[in-house]
A and B are shown apart, each in its own frame.
Chain A
C-alpha cells in the first residue's frame, strides 16, 4: 500500500503539483490520468522517491519512503520509467537480471535463484526468445516489455509504471496491461500506472486519480470518475460514455469545445 499526503513540486517558478494526496491499496490498479502537463509523471516520480517533495510524505506499507535505505526501497517498489537506456550495451538477459540487484549485496553475484526469477519474468512478458539479444537492438515495444520484466524480477510488492503502453501496438498494450492488472488482482500487489488512454484506464484500472492543472480534479473508482461531467472540464472536449460488451467505453468529440468555467 502506497500512501501520499500533501505532495507538491515545482520546476523553478512553475508549480507543477500542489497538495496532492492519494492512497493506493494492495490488490488494486490505480491509474493516474490527465491531460499533457497535468503532472502525472511528476507525481509518479514523487511516489517512488526519485524526486523528494518539499512538503508532505510518501509511505510504503506505513513506512516513510524517504527514510528507507535505497536498496530496501527498491525491494519494495519497482518502477518502469520512460528513460529507456537505448544506448545500453547490455543484453536483454543482463538487463532483466539487473532487477535482482536490490536483493544482492556488493559482494554477491547473481545465482541460480536470480536466473530462475529473471527467466520467469521474461516468460511472463512473452520475451524469452529475446534473452540473448542486445537491448539496444530491440524495437520500442520489445524494450518496453523487457523493462517490465526487469521490474517484475525485482519482486517488489509495489509496481509503478510511467506510460507502459508507449510504443506498443494494440495487442501488446492489452497484453502488458493485462499482466500488470494480473499482478494486482492475482498476486495482491499494489499497482500505480500513468496512462494517457482513458479507454485503457477504464478497462484495466480499478481506481483512477484525475489530475488537472497540478491538482487532483477527481479520484475514486473508475465508474465514478470516468464520466463526461468530470472529464470534459479537464480535457476541454466533448466526451460520451457508452457501454458495450459489459465494458465501459469513452467516445471523444473534439469539435465540441468545453469551457472549463461553464461546468464549474
Chain B
C-alpha cells in the first residue's frame, strides 16, 4: 500500500502549475539560444560578412587573450570588435530595456496600448538631443554631449509628467496617461520649434535621423556601460516585483488588499521606467513599437504572471531589435536607414491584429 504522503494529491499538480512551468522553461531556453545566435548573426552580417568561427576567435582574443596570434586581418578585427559587437550589444540592451519598460507600464496603467514613451520620456530626450545637435548645447562641457543632454531632457520630461499627474492629488492611471500625452505634445512642439529656429537643413536632418532611432553611436564607452547596468538592473528589479505587478495590474484596491501600497509602488515603477527609458533613448534615439508589441508576444508565450513575462519580454525585445538593426543596415546598403522605420513597419500590422483581437473578445 502507499504511504500517507503519497496518497495526498500533490498541491502543485492540483494547481496545474507544471504545464506553464515547462512552457516557460522551454521558451527561456529557446530564447537564450536564439539571442546567442542572433548576436553572432548580427555581428557577422553586413557589407563585409564575417563567419561565426572568426567572430568567436576575435571575441576570445579580446576577452581572454586567446588565441594570442591573430589569423585574421586588422580590418576584420576592427569591424567585429570596434564596430559591430558594441552595436549589436547596444541593440540587444535597448530592445530588452524598451520591452521590460513596456511590460511595467502596461501593468501600471492597466492598458494594453501603453508603451514606454507614455511618460513623455522620448519627447524630452528628443528636445535635449535637438538642442545639442542644432545649437551645440553642452558641447565642450561634458563628454558624450548628445547622450547626456538627451538623458537630461528625458529626466526633465518624466519629472514634469509626474508633477502634472500628482498636482491634483493621487497619481491614478488615467491622470498619468493624460499628463504623459500633454507633456509629450508640448515637448514635441518644442523640438519642432528648435528645428525651425535653427534654420539648418543639415542639422534638421541629423535631428530627424536621431529621432527615428539609430544604434550608430555604439562604442565600447561609458554610455554602453551605463545602458548595460541600468537595463540589467531594471530587469532584475521588475522580476523581483513580479507578484506586485500582478496585483497592481488587477487594480489598485486589489493591490492594497494584498499588501501592496498602490501609489507608492506606482511611484517606484515610474522612477525605474523613467531612468531605464531615459538611458535607452539617450543612447539610441526613440525607437517605436518594441515596448508596445513585445509585452504582448511575451504574454502570449508564457501567460500573464509578470515574474515570467519580464524575463521572456527582455529576451524577445533583445532579439527583435538586433534583427531590426541588421535590416536597417543592410536593406539599402551602403545607405543606413533609421531603425525606428523598421520597428514601426513590423509593429503597425501587429497592432492592427491586436485591435482585431480586442474587438473579437469584446464582442
Contacts and interface: CB of A to CB of B under 8 A. Distances in A.
Q: Is the interface of B mostly helix, strand, loop or mixed?
A: helix
Interface string A79-122: 10101010111110110111101101011010010011011101
B250 A85 contact: yes
B277 to A, nearest CB: 23
A83 B247 CA distance: 12
B164 interface: no
Given A99-B258, A106-B241, A115-B15, A81 B247 contact: no
Interface string B1-37: 0000000010110111101100000000000000000
A70 interface: yes
A94 B257 contact: no
Contacts of B20: 91
Nearest to A160: B257
Interface string B249-288: 1111110111111000000000000000000000000000
Interface residues of A, number: 46
A131 interface: yes
A37 B253 CA distance: 20
Nearest to A85: B250
B304 A90 contact: yes
A74 B246 contact: no
A101 B14 contact: no
A119 B15 contact: yes
B303 A101 contact: no
A91 B16 contact: yes
A85 B251 contact: yes
A48 B254 CA distance: 11
Interface string B223-259: 0000000000000000011011011011111101111
A73 to B, nearest CB: 7
Given A50-B253, A89-B304, A101-B247, A131 B15 contact: yes
Contacts of B11: 112, 115-116, 118-120
Interface in A41-100: 45, 48-50, 70-75, 77-79, 81, 83, 85, 87-91, 93-94, 96-99
B219 interface: no
Contact of A94 (B12, B14, B303): B303
Interface of A: 45, 48-50, 70-75, 77-79, 81, 83, 85, 87-91, 93-94, 96-99, 101-102, 104, 106-107, 109, 112, 115-116, 118-120, 122-123, 128, 131-132, 151, 154
